[in-house]
């Protein structure tokens, strides 16, 4: 369901300061060891159905880079994280856990879209269409609602190499392209969420030239996608969406300001209109990659400081977003919630002793 800026970046072991004091944590964030293979390990997506089915997906890039990366699926079974599946020459960017016997993960394999399904016993890939049959296809978000599953991402135009948003819909056991309006010269879809077969949201960013960036939000009404963008401060993009109900939808990403540089961006849709919601200013800049709700008054938004090496964890209590204390020197990529009061966060850190990237996870209970 959730997706993020799933692109590996150099991580610097430096801290990020912020205005004001950290908000008191609801509970203590505790590191939980994750398996790491030789080479660079990246986790990009997470989701959960219960305490024994917490999923995280990503990729492992071997060193030296003489062979392509392979995907990585980890499952926390209530006691420990264990590898669940992997496939060669592929990367997974997002996962949506529906039940203990149904989950979906998406990404890219050999420049084509990749969709894989958990049936309670094993993961298996399903055929999925591409935006460009010649290559350059990636899926970055996935969400299931009823008998419908959505997967979104982008593809590159063969002639211009421009990025275009790509939406896929699974109905009746078959994946097909779902036409979306093209609102700018280039665009990319980063995440999708749905409250039902006739109510879904896709978010991302678009550009009509130069270095401009505008937030993109599309809503599915059961038959077509329509554009319903949140407030645009001038330069912004969206990385995540959490649709709690049709009248309570949250989006998260980034916005550029003249004074504070790149900053976290959050907006809320109330069923009729959007409003931008104030968040703590991050000195040094930063952006959000995921947002997940346990309830309308218990929401977590996560991301990374502008340096690429400090975590951002924001909490919504029903009236205010505040920043929580979480481990630094890591790049937070995704979050997952397990009712009634547990949040998981996954991401990437850099191990100076091994000089390799390592995935990590932290958990907060209560």
DSSP code per residue over 352-363: TTTTEEEEEEEE
- Looking at per-residue pLDDT, the higher value among 42 and 67 belongs to 42
Q: Report residue 2's pLDDT band, with 50, 70 and 90 as the boundaries.
A: very low
- Looking at per-residue pLDDT, the higher value among 258 and 166 belongs to 166
Give the model's pLDDT for residue 319: 98
The answer to whether residue 270 scores a pLDDT higher than 50 is: yes
The answer to whether residue 10 scores a pLDDT higher than 50 is: no
Nearest alpha carbon to residue 200 among 268, 161, 267, 249: 249
Give the model's pLDDT for residue 26: 59
Q: Indicate the pTM of the whole model.
A: 0.91
- Residue-level length of the chain: 366
Q: What is the distance of C-alpha 196 from the center of its chain? A: 20
Average pLDDT over residues 275-292: 95
Average pLDDT over residues 271-277: 98
Residue pair 169/180 in contact by the 8 Å Cβ criterion? no
The answer to whether residue 238 scores a pLDDT higher than 80 is: yes
Residue pair 265/259 in contact by the 8 Å Cβ criterion? no
Residue pair 219/228 in contact by the 8 Å Cβ criterion? yes
The answer to whether residue 12 scores a pLDDT higher than 60 is: no
Residues 185-200: tens digit of each pLDDT:
999 999 999 999 999 9
CA distance 210 to 217: 21
Average pLDDT over residues 151-176: 95
CA distance 339 to 292: 11
The answer to whether residue 25 scores a pLDDT higher than 50 is: no
Give the model's pLDDT for residue 65: 81
Round the average pLDDT of the chain to a whole number and report it.
90
Question: Does residue 27 sit in helix, strand or coil?
Answer: coil
Q: Report residue 258's pLDDT band, with 50, 70 and 90 as the boundaries.
A: confident
Residue pair 129/177 in contact by the 8 Å Cβ criterion? yes
- Looking at per-residue pLDDT, the higher value among 334 and 310 belongs to 334
CA distance 11 to 307: 7
Q: Report residue 17's pLDDT band, with 50, 70 and 90 as the boundaries.
A: very low
DSSP 88: B
Q: Report residue 307's pLDDT band, with 50, 70 and 90 as the boundaries.
A: low
Give the model's pLDDT for residue 64: 82
CA distance 183 to 213: 12
Q: Report residue 85's pLDDT band, with 50, 70 and 90 as the boundaries.
A: confident
CA distance 237 to 328: 24
CA distance 163 to 258: 27
Please report where in the chains the tokens 């309570």 appear, as a residue. 248
β-bridge mates for residue 124, sequence order: 117
DSSP 21: P
Residues 320-360: tens digit of each pLDDT:
999 998 877 688 999 999 999 999 999 999 999 989 999 99
Residue 199: Cβ-neighbour burial (10 angstroms; 0-12, 13-18, 19+): middle
Average pLDDT over residues 87-91: 93
Nearest alpha carbon to residue 169 among 228, 218, 215, 124: 218
Torsion angle defined by CA atoms of residues 65, 66, 67 and 69, in that order, rounded to the nearest 10 degrees: 10
Q: What is the distance of C-alpha 110 from the center of its chain? A: 21
Average pLDDT over residues 199-225: 92
């Amino acid at each position: 369901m959730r997706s993020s800026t799933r692109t590996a970046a150099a991580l610097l072991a430096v801290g990020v300061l912020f205005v004001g004091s950290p908000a008191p944590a609801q509970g203590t964030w505790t590191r939980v060891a994750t398996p790491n293979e030789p080479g660079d390990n990246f986790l990009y997506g997470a989701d959960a159905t219960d305490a024994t089915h917490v999923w995280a997906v990503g990729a492992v890039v071997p060193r030296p880079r003489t062979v392509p990366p392979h995907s990585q699926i980890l499952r926390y079974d209530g006691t420990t994280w264990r590898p669940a599946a992997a496939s060669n020459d592929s990367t997974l960017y997002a996962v949506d856990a529906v039940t203990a016997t149904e989950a979906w993960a998406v990404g890219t394999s050999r420049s084509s879209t990749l969709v894989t399904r958990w049936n309670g016993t094993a993961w298996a890939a399903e055929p999925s269409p591409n935006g460009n049959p010649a290559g350059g296809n990636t899926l970055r978000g996935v969400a299931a609602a009823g008998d419908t599953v959505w997967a979104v991402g982008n593809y590159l135009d063969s002639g211009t190499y421009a990025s275009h948003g790509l939406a896929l819909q699974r109905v009746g056991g078959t994946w097909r392209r779902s036409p979306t309006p093209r609102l700018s010269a280039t665009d990319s879809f980063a995440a999708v969420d749905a409250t039902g077969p006739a109510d879904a949201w896709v978010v991302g960013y678009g550009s009509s030239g130069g270095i401009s960036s505008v937030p993109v939000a599309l809503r599915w009404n059961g038959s077509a996608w329509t554009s319903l963008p949140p407030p645009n401060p001038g330069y912004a993009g969206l990385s995540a969406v959490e649709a709690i109900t049709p009248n309570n939808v949250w989006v998260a990403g980034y916005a550029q300001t003249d004074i504070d540089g790149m900053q976290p961006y959050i907006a809320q849709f109330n069923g009729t209109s959007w409003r931008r919601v104030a968040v703590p200013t991050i000195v040094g800049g930063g952006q959000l990659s995921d947002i997940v709700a346990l309830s309308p008054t218990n929401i977590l938004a996560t991301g990374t400081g502008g340096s690429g090496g400090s975590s951002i964890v924001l909490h919504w209590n029903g009236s205010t977003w505040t920043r929580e204390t979480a481990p630094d020197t890591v790049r937070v990529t995704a979050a997952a919630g397990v009712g009634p009061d547990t949040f998981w966060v996954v991401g990437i850190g850099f191990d100076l002793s091994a000089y390799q990237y390592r995935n990590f996870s932290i958990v907060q209970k209560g």
